[in-house]
Structure 1
Amino acid sequence: MGKEEQVEEREVLDSIFPDEITDISETEYRITIKLNLPEVEDVDADSPENDEVAMILHVKYPEAYPDEAPALDLSPANSGASHPRFSVAADKEYLLRHLDDTIQENLGMAMVFALVTELTEAAEQLVAERRAETQRAHEEVLRAAEREENKKFHGTPVTPETFLQWREGFLKEMEELRAREEEERLAELKKARVKEPVKLTGRQLWERGLVGKIDEGEDDEPLADQVDKLKLEA
């Protein structure tokens, strides 16, 4: 019963994967699985981000298959080279374990096509999640840079602490300003109290009888100097 089902499944798989399946023996073969990934835009032409991603699923039937699970293994399809978002060596354990539920659900039936489908979707989902995480990290870097740039155009956010600090500095500045203004006002008053000697006109000197006190020996002196002497003597 198991042998007939194995041969029948193998024939069906030949029609589904004519170029991807390779026999190793009557009960063992391998299938090359190529992932269908959306192309990433805005990357360099030589970037491996858009390289083809492929892996090889090794299938070996036990005698009781399909009542017993097949032996499965994974290997790279391109001599060990890995994609930036996918590596058979690193992801094999997760992907094979991911097939456990599909195997249990299909015991007693041909299951290899279901396993290939589930394996392909799981690998594509891994790549998609990693690309999304990389994009989120890139966007966060851009947002952080934008926040730093915006700090140049915004003042310090007002908080109770920053307001009290500003208020203290403002009051201190106003007090210093008032003190300077008071010093200047007092200096002006002091200057106003110092009166210059009153300069008498010729008429006032005559009326006060000071003209005759001018010393005749001082005729050669300028009149203004003689007047100053008279004011001092007065």
Structure 2
Amino acid sequence: MSYKEDQEGEIEALESIYNTDFIVVEDSPFYKFKIRLCASSTDLEFSTDPTCFLIFTYTKKYPEEPPLVDIWAEEDDPFFDDLKKEELKEKLQDEASNNLGMVMIFTLVSIAQEWLAESLDLEKTRIQEERERIRTEAEEAEKRRFMGTPVTVQNFLSWKEKFDAELASMKKVEKEDKDRKLTGRELFLRDKTLIESDLKYLEEGGEAVAVDESLFEDLDNLDLDDIEDLDVDDIED
């Protein structure tokens, strides 16, 4: 049987096997055709199932020579990027070299289907492992949030240094506040017993005196040293 007869006989067989998934692109000078390859990716949550076309072109002496092989897929295919297409193409070329002397397209397509199924299983495993890694990291982060940071000599000394600095700053402010001379208004606001003691004194004298608190509102501007220097006669005037 001649090469031409072998090729035409295989074309008829491929048309009956793959039906609408088989498309002849050219029939002269040699047959060029493509076969659709598709796999379900339900578990991978791809927007569409991975799909490509295996493109074969007979040579003059096929099947004594391997056919030319190429892979085509949509640019937005969720699985068949350039790396995957090149990987599948190399695998088919290697298999073609191992099957010289016999028609081999059905064998090559079957190998491509097996490769696709295995690759999708690997991708599914990779996605599951990635999800598990993210979940584990989130759980560990949540545990650390409740457990706090383990105490070490280094982080304890760092914390103590900051704590001592804050404590010294608070003591400094407190000392400055004590050393500062309080105004009359601040004295009354800080120690309410001063007001109550005066009222008690007046009540013990037999008189109930109504105190107008507004008289004390301007005590902030009152200089007690000036009052001490005043003569009683000046006050009466």
Q: TM-score, normalised by structure 1?
A: 0.57
Shift in CA distance, 72/85, structure 1 to aligned 2, threshold 3 Å: closer
Q: Which amino acid aligns with 2:68?
A: A
Is the radius of gyration larger for structure 1 or structure 2?
1
Q: How far apart in 1 are the matches of 2:123 and 2:86?
A: 17
Which string of whole-angstrom CA distances, capped at 9 and with x for unpartnered residues, describes residues 155-185 of structure 1? 6669xx66xx8xxx9xxxxxxxxxxxxxxxx
Q: Is 2:84 the counterpart of 1:83?
A: no
SS at match of 2:101: coil
Shift in CA distance, 132/86, structure 1 to aligned 2, threshold 3 Å: farther
Q: How far apart in 2 are the matches of 1:19 and 1:28?
A: 17
Q: Name which structure has the greater RCO, CA cutoff 8 Å, separation 6+.
A: 1
Which string of whole-angstrom CA distances, capped at 9 and with x for unpartnered residues, describes residues 193-212 of structure 1? xxxxxxxxxxxxxxxxxxxx
Q: Select which of 97, 102, 124 maps to 1:104.
A: 97
Query: Once the 2 structures are TM-superposed, how far is the Cα of residue 20 of structure 1 from its aligned partner?
Result: 1.2
Q: Is 2:16 the counterpart of 1:19?
A: no
Residue of structure 1 equivalent to 2:40: 37
Per mean C-alpha deviation after superposition, the further-off stretch among 131-140 and 3-12 is 131-140
Question: Aligned residues: percent identity?
Answer: 27
Q: How far apart in 1 are the matches of 2:78 and 2:22?
A: 26
Residue of structure 2 equivalent to 1:71: 68
User: Can you give the 5+ residue segments of structure 1 that lack an aligned partner in the other structure?
Assistant: 44-48, 170-234
Q: How far apart in 2 are the matches of 1:5 and 1:65?
A: 8
SS at match of 1:17: helix
Q: How far apart in 1 are the matches of 2:38 and 2:114?
A: 8
**Structure 1 residues 178-197: aligned runs within 5 Å:** none
SS at match of 2:60: coil
Q: Which amino acid aligns with 1:54?
A: T
Query: Once the 2 structures are TM-superposed, how far is the Cα of residue 10 of structure 1 from its aligned partner?
Result: 1.0
Does the 8 Å contact 1:32/1:56 carry over to 2? yes
SS at match of 2:42: coil
Query: Once the 2 structures are TM-superposed, how far is the Cα of residue 11 of structure 1 from its aligned partner?
Result: 1.2
**Structure 1 residues 209-220: aligned runs within 5 Å:** none
User: Can you give the 5+ residue segments of structure 2 that lack an aligned partner in the other structure?
Assistant: 161-237
Query: CA-atom RMSD, angstroms?
Result: 2.6
Does the 8 Å contact 1:85/1:131 carry over to 2? no
Shift in CA distance, 33/75, structure 1 to aligned 2, threshold 3 Å: same
Residue of structure 1 equivalent to 2:209: none
Q: Which amino acid aligns with 1:21?
A: F
Q: How far apart in 2 are the matches of 1:84 and 1:52?
A: 8
Q: Which amino acid aligns with 1:69?
A: P
How many positions carry a matched residue from both structures? 153
Q: TM-score, normalised by structure 2?
A: 0.56
Q: Which amino acid aligns with 1:19?
A: T
Query: Once the 2 structures are TM-superposed, how far is the Cα of residue 9 of structure 1 from its aligned partner?
Result: 1.0
Does the 8 Å contact 1:35/1:124 carry over to 2? no
Q: How far apart in 1 are the matches of 2:31 and 2:83?
A: 24
**Structure 1 residues 84-163: aligned runs within 5 Å:** 84-87=78-81, 89-154=82-147
Which string of whole-angstrom CA distances, capped at 9 and with x for unpartnered residues, describes residues 108-147 of structure 1? 0110011111122223333332232222112111100100
SS at match of 2:122: helix
Q: How far apart in 1 are the matches of 2:149 and 2:49?
A: 51
Query: Once the 2 structures are TM-superposed, how far is the Cα of residue 71 of structure 1 from its aligned partner?
Result: 0.9
